[in-house]
Chain A
Amino acid sequence: MPKVLLLVVLFVSLNGLAQTFTFSFQRASLAKVFAQIEQRSDYRFLYSEEVLALGSPVSFTVNNTPLDSILRLCFFQQPLGYTIEGKHIIVKKRIIEKPTPLTRELRGKVVDMQNEPLAGITITIKQTGMATATDAYGEFVFMNLPVKTTLVVTGGEIIPQEVDASQNSYQLIVVEQRMSVLDETMVIAYGKTSRRLSTGTVSSVKREEISKQPVSNIMSVLAGRVPGLSVFQNSGAPGTGFDIQLRGINSIANGTDPLIVIDGIPYPSQTLTGAIGGGAGTSASPLNTLNPADVESIEILKDADATAIYGSRGANGVILITTIKGKAGKTSVTANLYQGYGQITRKMKLLGTTDYLRMRREAYSNDGTIPTNANAPDLLVWDTTRQTDWQDVLLGNTMHSTDAKVNLSGGSALTQFLFGLGYHKETTVYPGRFGENRKTANLNVSHASTDKRFQFSVSTTFADYGTTLPQQDLVSFITLSPNAPKLYNDDGTLNWQNGTWINPLGRTKAIISTTTTNLISSLSASYKLLPSLSIKISGGYNRLENNDHSINPKSASNPLGNPVSTAQFGRKTITTLIGEPQVEYQFLRNKNTFSILAGTTFQQNSQYFLYQRGTGYASDELLNSLRSASQVTTISEGDILYKYVGLFSRIKINLENKYLITATLRRDGSSRYGEENRFSNFGSIGAAWIFSNEKWFSNWKFLSFGKLKGSAGITGNDQIGDYKYLDLYSPYTYSYLGSTVFYPEQLYNPVYGWEKVRKLEASLEFGVWDNRLLGTVNYYHNTTTNQLVNYPLPSMTGFTSIVKNIPAVIRNTGIELELQGQLIKNKYISWSSSFNLTIPRNKLVSFQNLSSSSYANRYVIGEPLNIVKKYKWTGVNPATGNHQFEDFNRDGQITVSGDQQQIVFTGQRFFGGMQHNISYGRWELSLLLAFARTPSASNHLYVFSRPGLVMNQPVSVMNRWQKPGDITDVQRFANTSGGSNTAFSIYRQSDAAYSDASFIRLKNAVISYSVLATKKEHRFLSQCQLFLKANNLFTISRYSGVDPETLSIFMPPIRLVTAGFQVTFK
């Protein structure tokens, strides 16, 4: 489109070219200079603004200088020329007659649409490969440029563009920032892509999302954010693990953990907790050593297309964790600090002393027995006027969380670095000094040669992590009688009340301390042999060292029981070494791009562990030393080697940005299989059609993006344990006749084969209203065959299981829906939201001879794998007051074999999350809601036994049956064994022990305020933000028990509120 020509035609001056002028200009634009000249003479300049814009500002001082000399100064080294016709000076582009000298200088500046300078943008000279990056003012400079110069402008958040700068010495570049998440970089296996061009199903969680949650474990961040991924915290105690499932249970027996890869290194996904157990009654998360603040992004790879390149390890999906890297630009220091306080999210309503004593007395009167000191200390020995809320005492304290992180980063266009230090400390809600702490350091350096053909990056993270926790989760003590004795005697010692109770504080002396150090070091180096051919080697080293130390001092138990002190010591070291040489060939034909990747993986994991028990300690003070034990027993020792090799290749074809095809092939070998079945092939094919790039599509105004994609492929699962094909003898814990003795450790099966998952996927992605609303609908259909199970055997075979393939087929299907949109965006307010929903279905499709197999009582064909078979509770018999049950086989009695027929589904019907980010001026608010529909999960009956015993109960038990004819759900109170006892033990094994654990939880809420309005405002600060961040602020649930997420088994999650700030020094 032609621009408007501004013609300036005015009267001719009489004085002519001989007229002299006195001027002084500093970096003045030509337009300004010309205007001054026009003011003082009759000469008029004729030019188009377009042409004049090519000119650079000029600086000169002249005294009584004639106009022709001034004009020469103005046009010196400008890409412009002029001719004088009468009183008109006509400005034109200079026609180059001779080549400009080879050595020229180019300066320039990169700004965004709002004219704000952009730092850290990479400018590459296409002809030479020379590159630089813009500084804090968005400016850049090149020396020694060739004649023909094309600038390639790239950067993380901008749409790349090319600018011809052959004629200029100063270049202003206006770039468009990426508006659409469709084009954000997404890390995938051995490469990168964007959501727009991906043929696989990948979800991505970025740093800005991760940083919103004040948590110490990265897995917490994923809950509610990623469709298809269910993340449940096992316990509210720090450092405990997560139950993670990506797209359902694919395997009957083997691990369902997704493969976790940190910067290219496969990371152990199983707990480090070993033979002496973990803290708070559960096991530790392997990712405790990873500081969430060091994570740049997490990509969750789901379908065959995205995971098949991981071959035998991709069956359960892959979680790729990428750590933060240095960025080019001014050196800056960012510090982030927060401090928070928390309490448990939920408590149960339990009986007070009055109702409790009424229950107990009624139980004796129902039984017709008289309470004795031995069976009713609560009625006869203890003070019946005491009332303690044990949930308050044992789980009701306030925990503290402190976190600090400092990053130093910067670098030039070719070399960038980042160095960070982190600290985290968290206490617990238990009484006593428990908690976790973590110190981390990370360093990343990336370098490229000036021609950018050679690139090199190395990242190293070191973490030192420790927890101190009681061995037992005190949640199991919430059933203590409300009038249970006082905790301490007057002299400050623990009160055991003559052995009539177990003092819960005793359990806080049985402690397990764990220290874990972790070194992750990864490197990648690549070299472009040709513009289209590059070779790369990536590799890494990971060493995890875990030390457990648990003590059971005498003082933890009632002295009347003559307890002895013991201590246990454990050490586990896992070392992973991986090397992956790769070749990539890329070429363009017309508008189509082709890329071929081929590579190999060599991986070696070695694991050593040793767990020992010391007994015969002279004093509790010596329990920290193994040497002080008079006897040392080795509980277990292992030295495991796992080697893994893979050959992989991937072909990607992009036809006119409309048709995308990816094909993957992998051949894997694993030392976990016997010689005959050591190798297997895996592969996938994926295709996508971006129909919004078709010509006919331009008529569809409101739909701005549309893509259909599908994939199919085979991946495998090798989480089966090591050496299962060998007939191994292990040394027994104890020696005999002075000799170490060996026993057969396992039944072995030399011929088991690989378990394979066939994955199918179809999905639709769309964007409407200029991609302000983006949506994805995925349908997946995964089938696992050749199930490799720890097949349960009758123990008459000498063992209880064998690793073996069985002809069972499991199908996981599901629908995942994801919507994200910019609801409001104007000068004042920005409101974006996202929503995701997963509806998973799991089914045991077939199982040859299930009824005669050892799984007969575990699974039902046509039902999901996550079921239990239980008695069916039919209510309380109005005549007897005892629970009654469905007699399925009509034999007149309730038996284990005949009547545990009620199928109870313990999984989720659907789950998902919703997120809102609202910014108003300098304020920002962010909310994350997570929800899950779990129709039946283990309820309070997991810890609460029969009402009437020396044990507190939920308040609802007061609706008990009292006399014949009463209609109620609560059995009569009873104390002695007999009909009520039997009925209640069946009740606990019935469907009544499962109840709705659906919930909606405000997982995360953040309010932040930016002290600085713009980056420029302050001399040395570029950012200063104050924030309040909170987790688990509220939960809506009807769950009958402690918490719908951790159930009644472990400590509920923590409601944590933190306050802090983040500053960046420039």
Chain B
Amino acid sequence: MKYTIAFISMLVLSVSCKKFVAIEAPSTQLVAATVFTNDQTAIAAQLAIYARMEGDGLAYQQQTYNGLSGDEFMNYSTGVATTDLASNNLTAENTIVLGFWSNYYKYIYQANAILESLEKSYLLSESVKKQLTGESKFVRAFCYYYLCSLFGDVPIVQSTDYRVNSQLPRNSVAEVIAFIENDLVTAIPLLSTNYLDANNAITAERVRPNKSAAQALLARVYILLNQWEKAENTATEVINGNYQLVTNPDLVFLKNSAEAIWQFQSVVPGYNSYPGAQLILTTTPTVAALDTNFIKAFAATDKRKLQWTKSITVAGKTYYYPFKYKVRQNASSITEYSMVMRLSEQYLLRAEARLKQNKLSEAHQDINHIRTRAGLVSLAGLSGSALMDSINKERRFELFAEFGDRWLNLKRTNTADLIMPVSKGANWSSTDALYPIPQSEINRNNQLTQNPGY
């Protein structure tokens, strides 16, 4: 009898065991399904992408490392990764290169996860769903834009399924650009014209991408595709939006400046903008300083030289650094944000698009907006390659140390092989224009091929 009781009690125990080991999700985290049942948390998942972009120092890395690869910065680091990057002597093991690759794909995963969850969710408001779909598609396009600019052919990952994604081969640049264009075209009608806050209410903080941000990126894509008319029209939409050039160059990089299309809000304690915190020199540089040849190339009266660069002299040696951001670290208040996209680039893009369509006077108008602000005389009567050269030159001085614009532009305009040997000498070879696919990625996905030269 007592054995029977023991047996029965064991049985009862075994049933209750199942319940015992079924546990709830940890209180410090949320299960995906919960995140997308509520507008607030769904928006918080979207904002996490931008917070991480700034927290990872994306703006700083993009400008500094691309600037070292190109001809804007001189290297003062003794680290192997930085030294190899600055001497265009990259290996596939380079950790900085891996950082670009893995960060962009990390943001892409977040965007894909949000897109998939939005599709499944029935509890979110339509307006939030629309806006977040637009933003995620924009983020995805933004990341692929930089990935294919840095690496050339890259795999298009458009789901969260690791089983598929871990074996994807590289897609051609043309395929990637088409994908970007499609994402942006889809995103634009979904996105709000205004800037929105964490509750989707209108705000002055320009730290969430809006419709203009997507259009600004699309204008770049049309330039890549040589679709001049579309590029012009798209840029025009941005220029005619709620933006204007800030007259005083010192005020351009303030937070929510009238020229800002998209900025990253400050997140790191003690930092205003990430690039300002890292690159304003107080002593001998330990990573990078501006290339002296670049400083020499400015016109003496160029306000951008006077107001956007600065120097420090240590032990008789002068080092130049970008001074677009004025605040280094530990300021008492936040006055500057990392700039991602701004209006003057759209003028320069439109000038190029108009030139290609032979709308010369309009092109002159665009470029002269930029020159005037810099305190330079307006250009007139240029045509063909001379005007193109002027646009490229203006781009170099206007957008230096901004998201690697110079490095990307050298490659887009096929002028890298012409210009790079000037500063890098024999170290430069054509294949250096593309970064290597990280070796660890190739090791883990045998579908990936390496770029030539590595």
Query: Which chain A residues have a beta carbon within 8 Å of chain B's beta carbons?
Result: 499, 529, 533, 560-562, 564, 583, 598, 600, 602, 613, 615-616, 631-633, 637-645, 647, 667, 669-671, 675, 678-679, 722-723, 726-745, 747, 792-800, 802, 851-852, 854, 856-857, 896-897, 977, 985
Do B21 and A645 touch (CB < 8 A)? yes
Do B6 and A678 touch (CB < 8 A)? no
Alpha-carbon gap, A391 to B442, bound state (A) = 42
Do B439 and A560 touch (CB < 8 A)? no
Q: Which of A671, A796, A985 contacts B105 (CB 8 A)?
A: A796
Among the 9-residue stretches B41-49, B390-398, B417-425, the one with 4 or more Cβ atoms under 8 Å from chain A is: B41-49
Alpha-carbon gap, A645 to B44, bound state (A) = 37
Do B28 and A639 touch (CB < 8 A)? yes
Alpha-carbon gap, A897 to B329, bound state (A) = 42
Which positions 259-288 of chain B face chain A at CB distance < 8 Å? Answer: 265, 267-270, 282-284, 286
Other contacts beyond A602-B20, A615-B269: 19, CB < 8 A: A561-B283, A564-B270, A598-B6, A631-B270, A632-B269, A639-B26, A643-B23, A645-B17, A726-B31, A730-B30, A737-B197, A739-B47, A741-B51, A742-B44, A743-B48, A795-B440, A798-B160, A854-B444, A857-B443
Do B48 and A732 touch (CB < 8 A)? yes
Contacts of A794 in B (CB 8 A): 165-166, 440-441, 444-445, 448
Do B51 and A736 touch (CB < 8 A)? yes
Write 5 A-B pairs (CB below 8 A) sorted by A numbering. Answer: A641-B26, A727-B31, A744-B109, A747-B162, A793-B162
Quote the shortest CB–CB distance from A582 to chain B (angstroms): 11
Do B48 and A741 touch (CB < 8 A)? yes
- The answer to whether B376 has its CB under 8 Å from any CB of chain A is no
Contacts of A851 in B (CB 8 A): 446
Quote the shortest CB–CB distance from B269 to chain A (angstroms): 4
Query: Which chain B residues have a beta carbon within 8 Å of chain A's beta carbons?
Result: 2, 6, 10, 13-14, 17-18, 20-33, 35, 40-41, 43-45, 47-52, 54-55, 80, 83, 91-93, 98, 101-102, 105-106, 108-110, 112-113, 155, 157, 160, 162, 165-166, 168, 197-198, 203, 205, 207-208, 265, 267-270, 282-284, 286, 329-330, 438-446, 448
Q: Please name the residue on chain A nearest to B18 by beta carbon.
A: A669
Given A732-B51, A797-B157, A643:B162 Cβ within 8 A: no
Q: Please name the residue on chain A nearest to B282 by beta carbon.
A: A562
Alpha-carbon gap, A219 to B371, bound state (A) = 73
Given A644-B21, A743-B52, A798-B109, A737:B29 Cβ within 8 A: no
Do A640 and B51 touch (CB < 8 A)? no
Contacts of A632 in B (CB 8 A): 269
Which residue, B6, B21, B25, B155, has most C-beta atoms of chain A within 10 A?
B21
Q: Which of B6, B14, B44, B197 contacts A741 (CB 8 A)?
A: B44
Given A560-B283, A729-B35, A742:B443 Cβ within 8 A: no
Alpha-carbon gap, A190 to B303, bound state (A) = 82
Do B10 and A598 touch (CB < 8 A)? yes
Contacts of A736 in B (CB 8 A): 47-48, 50-51, 198, 207, 265, 267
Quote the shortest CB–CB distance from A908 to chain B (angstroms): 28
Given A796-B168, A896-B439, A730:B444 Cβ within 8 A: no
Contacts of A640 in B (CB 8 A): 26
Do A977 and B51 touch (CB < 8 A)? no
Do A730 and B18 touch (CB < 8 A)? no
Q: Which of B32, B44, B165 contacts A728 (CB 8 A)?
A: B32
Quote the shortest CB–CB distance from B129 to chain A (angstroms): 17
Given A728-B30, A732-B55, A736-B48, A744:B113 Cβ within 8 A: yes
Contacts of A583 in B (CB 8 A): 6
Alpha-carbon gap, A533 to B43, bound state (A) = 63
Contacts of B26 in A (CB 8 A): 638-641, 722-723, 728
Which residue, B106, B112, B282, has most C-beta atoms of chain A within 10 A?
B106
Alpha-carbon gap, A799 to B441, bound state (A) = 11
Which residue, A529, A747, A798, has most C-beta atoms of chain B within 10 A?
A798
Quote the shortest CB–CB distance from B327 to chain A (angstroms): 14
Do B162 and A671 touch (CB < 8 A)? no
Do A733 and B166 touch (CB < 8 A)? no
Quote the shortest CB–CB distance from B77 to chain A (angstroms): 13
Quote the shortest CB–CB distance from A562 to chain B (angstroms): 5
Contacts of B41 in A (CB 8 A): 729, 742
Alpha-carbon gap, A856 to B439, bound state (A) = 12
Contacts of B30 in A (CB 8 A): 728-730, 742
Which 9 pairs show the lowest CB-CB distances between chains A and B? Answer: A798-B109, A734-B267, A795-B102, A739-B198, A631-B269, A854-B444, A741-B48, A736-B51, A727-B32
Contacts of B93 in A (CB 8 A): 896
Do A639 and B27 touch (CB < 8 A)? yes
Contacts of B35 in A (CB 8 A): 729, 742
Q: Please name the residue on chain A nearest to B43 by beta carbon.
A: A739
Q: Which of A642, A669, A671, A742 contacts B45 (CB 8 A)?
A: A742
Q: Please name the residue on chain A nearest to B168 by beta carbon.
A: A796
Q: Which of A643, A737, A800 contacts B207 (CB 8 A)?
A: A737
Q: Which of B44, B83, B283 contacts A740 (CB 8 A)?
A: B44
Q: Please name the residue on chain B nearest to A857 by beta carbon.
A: B443
Q: Which of B21, B43, B443 contacts A643 (CB 8 A)?
A: B21
Q: Please name the residue on chain B nearest to A802 by beta carbon.
A: B162
Alpha-carbon gap, A647 to B7, bound state (A) = 12
Q: Which of B27, B49, B112, B205 contacts A737 (CB 8 A)?
A: B205
Q: Which of B18, B48, B101 contacts A742 (CB 8 A)?
A: B48
Given A616-B270, A732-B55, A800:B28 Cβ within 8 A: no
Q: Please name the residue on chain A nearest to B207 by beta carbon.
A: A737
Given A896-B91, A896-B439, A741:B45 Cβ within 8 A: yes
Contacts of A737 in B (CB 8 A): 47, 197-198, 203, 205, 207-208, 265
Do A795 and B284 touch (CB < 8 A)? no
Do B23 and A671 touch (CB < 8 A)? yes
Alpha-carbon gap, A734 to B264, bound state (A) = 13
Quote the shortest CB–CB distance from A607 to chain B (angstroms): 10
Given A638-B28, A742-B30, A897-B439, A797:B22 Cβ within 8 A: no
Quote the shortest CB–CB distance from A988 to chain B (angstroms): 11
Q: Please name the residue on chain A nearest to B328 by beta carbon.
A: A562
Contacts of A854 in B (CB 8 A): 166, 443-445
Alpha-carbon gap, A417 to B270, bound state (A) = 58
